[in-house]
Structure 1
Amino acid sequence: MKKILSGAVAAIALAAVATPAAAQTSQRHYAGVIAGIPYTSTNPGGLDTFGLEVGLGLGIGTRYTAFADAPSDSETATPTVDVVFTLSGSVNKDCSFYSGNNAGARNIDFGVIGVRTGNNENVNSAFEMVGPAVADIDTLTAGCNFNNEVVITKNNALGMVNAAAGGYDTDEFQANIPYSVNASWTGVALNTVAAGTAQSLNVSTTQLTGTRQQGAWRSNMAIDIVAPAITNKGLVAGTYSGTTTLTLRAL
């Protein structure tokens, strides 16, 4: 019986298996004929191998061996790898209010505040305001990009004051014109995540300041200033002035 291929092709299959602890090839095969009896032995061990090797030395039989070796993975293989990328950045807190292109845009001049000057006025009406003084201020751009507060502060709770009024009868005259300030816009309550709704802040004629806290917002803002007509006393002649400060402050 022939165990060595003659006139045939021996196809050697090579393979590398990418699995943990894959077995590596270690094959030893013997074949031969002793006393007319054919024999085969596959991967014998110990004394059997010794005896077969002695037989080869005496010209008995044949041998086939195949051994393969390759280094193992440098680290434990990981069939699935998750790589987490942490993204970060920052946005500065900011508040904006468009108030014109120069300081003159913020000078609100009522002009002449009319008083009753007719010589036919009743003494109880003489020198009283003819009607209210009003100002309407509107901007299309206002807001803050974080929790914030809107603050309105007058410099004097008395309103516009005549600083050079001279002398006057306090029972019949006054040298100040009280006024209210009302701001309105679209926003949300503090720490609230929701669609914006109408918001407002009012500082009455007798208040010095007012504050409203809220979440991030952007919208137009309207500011209405109203000095109601003073009808119980006359106004001392002169210049009346005052300041009102609107503050948008990120918290």
Structure 2
Amino acid sequence: MKNILCGAAAALALAVAAAPASAQTSERHYAGTAFGGYTITNPGFFGTLAGELGVATQVGTRYRAQADAPSDTETATPVVDVVFTLSGSVNKDCSFYSGNNSNARNIDFGVIGVRTGDNENVNNAFEMVGPAVANIDTLTAGCNFNNNVEIAKDDIRGLVNTAPGGYDTNEFQANIPYEVAASWTGVALNAQVAGSPQSLTVGTSANAGTKQQGAWRSRMDIDITAPVVTGKGLVAGDYSGTTTLTLRAL
């Protein structure tokens, strides 16, 4: 009996042994001529003794093939998911373009006309001729987070004459009440909807007001109106007051 392992067959055996996930090779084969010829393949303890005896007495031969390599250091993972957590932050901000200098924010009504004709009825003398009106608008206003829109007057009396001298309080007054009305496009607090017209008005008899909003950006219009004071004349002098608009991120 002849067993010849040629070069081509050897190459094939190596390729199979190197294939992924194949079992490690451990082969032991015996063959001999005694007892009319025999073969023993991968024997246990007694078969190995018999095979080795044939080799020792020169009536048999042996073939062995062993292959070994270290195992994976960890359990193999054919699919790996890698999760990248991305993060960043945006600062809270509110914006209101109010001109390039303080002159833009000094609202001067000029002369607030009163009835000065000597032919006026005494009940009309020195009363306001008509309302005092100021219109302010900016194309850039808003906040990028939940916010309060606040309007506050420094004096609930409105425009105040701080040096009126003496006067008959039954016939004259030294203040001019006014109303402030702001309008813009926005959304309610925490709402995630399309913007709609919003407004906040602080009336002539109110000192301040506030309205909560979600993030918004739009044009804002502010109208200041001092209605005609009736029933009393206005004491001569300078009248002044301040109104503060605040956009406050929450």
Q: TM-score normalized by structure 2?
A: 0.94
Map of 1:112 onto structure 2: 111
Q: How far 1:9 moved relative to its partner?
A: 4.6
Map of 2:23 onto structure 1: 23
**1:163-242 superposed matches below 5 A:** 163-242=162-241
**1:39-78 superposed matches below 5 A:** 39-78=38-77
Q: How far 1:78 moved relative to its partner?
A: 1.7
Map of 2:123 onto structure 1: 124
Q: How far 1:65 moved relative to its partner?
A: 0.9
Shift in alpha-carbon separation, 1:8–1:242, aligned structure 2, 3 A: closer
| Alpha-carbon distance in 1 for matches of 2:227, 2:8 | 115
Map of 2:154 onto structure 1: 155
| Alignment deviations for residues 49-84 of structure 1 (CA, whole Å, 9 cap, x no partner) | 112212212221221111000011101112222221
Q: How far 1:47 moved relative to its partner?
A: 2.1
Letter aligned with residue 131 of structure 2: P
Kept in 2: contact 1:116–1:125 (CA 8 A):
yes
**1:96-107 superposed matches below 5 A:** 96-107=95-106
Segments of 5+ residues of structure 1 without an aligned counterpart are: none
Paired residue secondary structure (2:54): helix
Shift in alpha-carbon separation, 1:52–1:228, aligned structure 2, 3 A: same
Q: How far 1:90 moved relative to its partner?
A: 1.1
Letter aligned with residue 52 of structure 2: E
Letter aligned with residue 24 of structure 1: Q
Q: How far 1:245 moved relative to its partner?
A: 0.4
How many residues align? The count is 247
Segments of 5+ residues of structure 2 without an aligned counterpart are: none
Q: How far 1:45 moved relative to its partner?
A: 1.8
| Alignment deviations for residues 156-190 of structure 1 (CA, whole Å, 9 cap, x no partner) | 11000001110111111111000000000000001
Letter aligned with residue 121 of structure 2: N
Paired residue secondary structure (1:77): coil
Paired residue secondary structure (1:10): helix
| Alpha-carbon distance in 1 for matches of 2:52, 2:4 | 18
Q: How far 1:48 moved relative to its partner?
A: 2.0
Kept in 1: contact 2:32–2:54 (CA 8 A):
no
Letter aligned with residue 181 of structure 2: N
Identify, as 1 or 2, the structure richer in helix.
Answer: 2
Q: How far 1:8 moved relative to its partner?
A: 7.6
Letter aligned with residue 2 of structure 1: K
Paired residue secondary structure (1:11): helix
Paired residue secondary structure (1:140): strand
Kept in 1: contact 2:160–2:174 (CA 8 A):
yes
Q: How far 1:117 moved relative to its partner?
A: 0.9
Identity of aligned residues (%): 72
Kept in 1: contact 2:31–2:51 (CA 8 A):
no
Shift in alpha-carbon separation, 1:240–1:8, aligned structure 2, 3 A: closer
Letter aligned with residue 38 of structure 1: G
Shift in alpha-carbon separation, 1:25–1:207, aligned structure 2, 3 A: same
Q: Aligned-pair RMSD on alpha carbons?
A: 1.5
Q: How far 1:16 moved relative to its partner?
A: 3.2
Kept in 2: contact 1:3–1:31 (CA 8 A):
no
